[in-house]
Structure 1
């Protein structure tokens, strides 16, 4: 398998991909000519959540998925527990590190990854049934390619699902009929035109990507009608896996994930904004991939790099062969990690404090 989840036996696809990479290489090399530090803003001395100056370094790492150059630091506030990227990527940096991840070179891989998770999306939609079994209009913020909306329609066939994202994936979602209305842009900028328009607004693994989570939550309050619901799912920085696996814990996802909010912090902020939290879940949103992802990230980081446009030149035949050999040798470890994730850890994830995400459902008063 390639890093894109595709068989390595399709010469035409390999040739087409190599040509695309060669065409993109000059632009990437120009972007990197001054070094990757230019993509980082000034370092904060206070917590962006509570303004405390009591900060400590929690993690230092690199881009373990795309392997784009750069080093990143996550700091933790010792007063409120908020963890955040510090220094944070600038707007130019976000564009650079998102480029070819969800779209472009990465579109086929991410579409396949998200498209194969229908059971998870159905579970997310079912979480709303005890609180509003017949919502008329639902906005999925950070919808990506719209696969959640497509699956959720099987649970709520009478609901109109719209999607919002800042990538071109939302346009693809509209073309494929996964969302009825596509909004492309920043949620806080679009919110004034959608005031009190939706019965449900969902943010599945979206807030951690935002540069200002509080601004996103205020936008959600504006868009959710009185009596409507906000459904949020984010990585849990208090998961024991976050400490046990260190930089190999997939939800850190540097440099894309900018903020990690302990559940108590988010509950208090929602209450301050006029919401009432009606459900808190940990076991249900847990995604049983932590050990598998950690093994894969370690293998991928050890192996020679594949051909990508942010490398000065494509790897030679020997380096490609070494990469293939190492990844094939790691298959037993990957298989064992998968079994442990799904059979041993998943049933006990919340009880053992290993759940990697939490979900809140809040009603706007």
Structure 2
């Protein structure tokens, strides 16, 4: 059976369960709407963004609110446990596993840069825990920078088990980080959270778990989308780091620095240009084209698209190639060298030492 035929058969197999979930209605996928900020408690909330699922195109509409008191941006109403399962299903695993695995596996240069950001502060950590490690691609690349460091990984998906089988991590922990933290208390010289905190339902709980896991004198390394990036405003719903509905919280850097200080950390480095991923314009064009064109087959669609719809999609995507090329060139050669000066860096990175 060809890969294409096998995928079509798998989609047909999954379609009844997805359609039953959709028919049950959207209410069970969301918690009640909050009337106060989950970060500081202020009731002064304004709507920052309304959007849909622009990556998988699963049904649903999502709202991001911003706290006028502290600047924290968060999904409101937030996905419930059932909602998280529905929207994560077949993204990192299942139907999406190979595509995402290939994407993450090709980003070796980025992973090396993340590991190198620790060198000025601890050039030879003995133990490192990567929280939200996925398939462990960061740990495999970081070992080239830090060959004498033992890298473990933690994730709530079965990707971490794959990472251990493939030898990308020495030990893989599957489960909830705060729940596992007592078992791992004081064990690690470095704990990293690369684009993990924004996925969590309670960022403060995750930070407290990190404090418990990092040994005194060890370091916490965090990288998250920057909600204060000018691209977040200029590109609107087409800004890739919004990543709705998966990203639940967007923490301004000042808020994170203050919370880390309260938890007994000293911030020893803050980076904006270094973690910037030069894909904003390219991704915005792609998301717009993919939204405009009739979609490929997926089990959350009631039926496979017709041949005419597939042909129309191909025409739209081919017509968009010049715009995709222009976005790529601007991202990499025009904007990237000026990303910090223009304040368009799409992420920031913090290194904090546990006192």
Aligned to 1:5: none
Determine if the alignment matches structure 1 residue 242 to structure 2 residue 226. no
Pairs within 5 Å for 1:147-158: 147-158=137-148
Aligned to 1:60: 50
Determine if the alignment matches structure 1 residue 100 to structure 2 residue 86. no
Q: Residues 125 and 152 of structure 1 are in contact (CA less than 8 Å); yes or no, is this contact kept in structure 2? A: yes
Deviation readout 1:122-142 (Å, 9 max, x if unpaired): 000000000000100000000
Q: How far is 1:34 from its partner?
A: 1.8
Q: How far is 1:342 from its partner?
A: 0.1
Aligned to 1:164: 154
Pairs within 5 Å for 1:1-365: 12-365=2-355
Q: How far is 1:328 from its partner?
A: 1.2
Listed as ranges, the gaps of 5+ residues in structure 2 are none
Task: Kindly report structure 1 stretches of 4+ aligned residues shifted beyond 4 Å.
Answer: none
Aligned to 1:6: none
Instruction: Give the Cα separation in 1 of the matches to 2:310 and 2:295.
Output: 8
Deviation readout 1:299-342 (Å, 9 max, x if unpaired): 00000011000011111110011111111111111011000000
Instruction: Give the Cα separation in 2 of the matches to 1:14 and 1:126.
Output: 40
Q: How many residues align?
A: 355
Instruction: Give the Cα separation in 1 of the matches to 2:159 and 2:278.
Output: 25
Deviation readout 1:188-228 (Å, 9 max, x if unpaired): 00001000000000000000000000000000000000000
Q: How far is 1:115 from its partner?
A: 0.5
Deviation readout 1:148-199 (Å, 9 max, x if unpaired): 0000000000000000001111111111110010000110000010000000
Aligned residue for 1:344, secondary structure, equals helix
Aligned residue for 2:341, secondary structure, equals coil
Q: How far is 1:12 from its partner?
A: 1.6
Tell me the TM-score normalised to structure 2 length. 0.99
Tell me the TM-score normalised to structure 1 length. 0.97
Q: How far is 1:71 from its partner?
A: 0.3
Aligned residue for 2:144, secondary structure, equals coil
Aligned residue for 1:154, secondary structure, equals helix
Instruction: Give the Cα separation in 2 of the matches to 1:326 and 1:127.
Output: 41
Q: What root-mean-square deviation, in Å, do the aligned CA atoms of Structure 1 and Structure 2 show?
A: 0.7
Aligned residue for 1:111, secondary structure, equals helix
Aligned residue for 1:335, secondary structure, equals helix
Q: How far is 1:75 from its partner?
A: 0.1
Q: How far is 1:38 from its partner?
A: 2.2
Aligned residue for 1:61, secondary structure, equals strand
Q: How far is 1:14 from its partner?
A: 1.1
Q: How far is 1:28 from its partner?
A: 0.5
Q: Residues 37 and 70 of structure 1 are in contact (CA less than 8 Å); yes or no, is this contact kept in structure 2? A: no
